Structure 1
Amino acid sequence: MDYPEDLKYLDTHEYVRLEGEIATIGITEFAVDQLGDIVFLELPEVSDAIAKGDTIGTIESVKAVETLYAPISGTVIERNDELIDNPDLLAEDPYGEAWFLKVRVNDLDEINDALSAEEYKALVAE
């Protein structure tokens, strides 16, 4: 499995890629693999405010329905509607084209307690 070094990870399997004050949020390859065939994705709307730790949607597979959590607070500036229409794209490119949201971050320091790639890799190996 791939765990890009430029990302920060949550123990709930979301990731964040920070580019200035913009955070790209998605879920990890490990989570996609565990879920299996993904059939439905629910995400917040553009301009919605999200708060770190809050529920930001759900992801449904043939195996389970899982809650998605905000890894950082901010305002949604872009939502990947193509992914909502075609959630099986997650299996192809979870760290690239299959991102969920782009968020203008309120406080960059909120991400400081997230996991590094090595820490996340150790977590999922347990």
Structure 2
Amino acid sequence: MSRAFNSYLSRRLAIILSLCVITPAGFACKFYAGPGGGWFNDYGGGVAYEIFWCLVVFFFWPEKKAAVKIAVWVFIVTCLLETLQLWHPPFLRQIRSTFPGKALLGTTFAWWDFPHYVIGTFLGWLWMRALGRNHD
């Protein structure tokens, strides 16, 4: 196998391992009950959510130079999803009544989610750059 192909596989494996770290961390934020639990429940999960989506997209577009575009688009889409929480048609209420629906779409709009989305996309961008640097 060529060096480029090995680097490609190595980066993909690193992304999968990263997703295996950030996914349970994000869910843990939602269920954490210790000191600062309110922040973790309401906002820490949002930071992890942004990182998660950055890494998912990076898995399919694993070029270091794409990291900025990925972070920007993840931020835009998640902000749109946050704004969508102001809309409550029956089909969205039904989706949001399930755990996956709550986890992916959210249930209540909060202005304070936006700064945490900025933090999450920035950390996601740093994470993607680190993965790109280690496998170029």
Does the pair score TM above 0.5? no
Higher strand share: 1
Which of the five TM-score ranges fits, normalised by the shorter chain?
Answer: 0.3 to 0.5
Which of 1 and 2 has greater Rg? 2
